[in-house]
Amino acid sequence: MASLNRVELIGYVGKDLEVRYTSSQKAVVNFSVATTDKWTTDGEKKSHTEWHSIEAWDKLAEICGKLLCKGSQVYIEGSILSQTWEDQNGKKRLTTKIRARSMQILGNGASSEDKSQSEQVPENNPDGEINDDMPF
- Residues 37, 20: Cα–Cα separation, whole Å: 32
Q: What is the CATH number of the domain that holds 103?
A: 2.40.50.140
Asked, for residue 3, whether it belongs to a domain, the answer is yes
> Alpha-carbon Rg of the chain, whole angstroms?
16
Asked, for residue 121, whether it belongs to a domain, the answer is no
Expressed as residue numbers, the domain containing 63 is 1-31+48-110
pLDDT on residue 95: 92
How many separate domains does the chain show? 1
List, in sequence order, every beta strand (DSSP E) within 1-136.
7-13, 20-21, 27-41, 44-57, 73-86, 92-106
Asked, for residue 131, whether it belongs to a domain, the answer is no
pLDDT on residue 58: 96
- Residues 123, 29: Cα–Cα separation, whole Å: 22
pLDDT on residue 109: 52
- Residues 1, 13: Cα–Cα separation, whole Å: 36
pTM exceeds 0.85 for this model: no
pLDDT on residue 1: 83
Per-residue pLDDT of the chain (136 residues; tens, 9 = 90+): 899 999 999 999 999 999 999 999 999 999 999 999 999 999 999 999 999 999 999 999 999 999 999 999 999 999 999 999 999 999 999 999 999 999 999 976 554 444 333 334 444 444 333 333 333 3
- Residues 16, 72: Cα–Cα separation, whole Å: 9
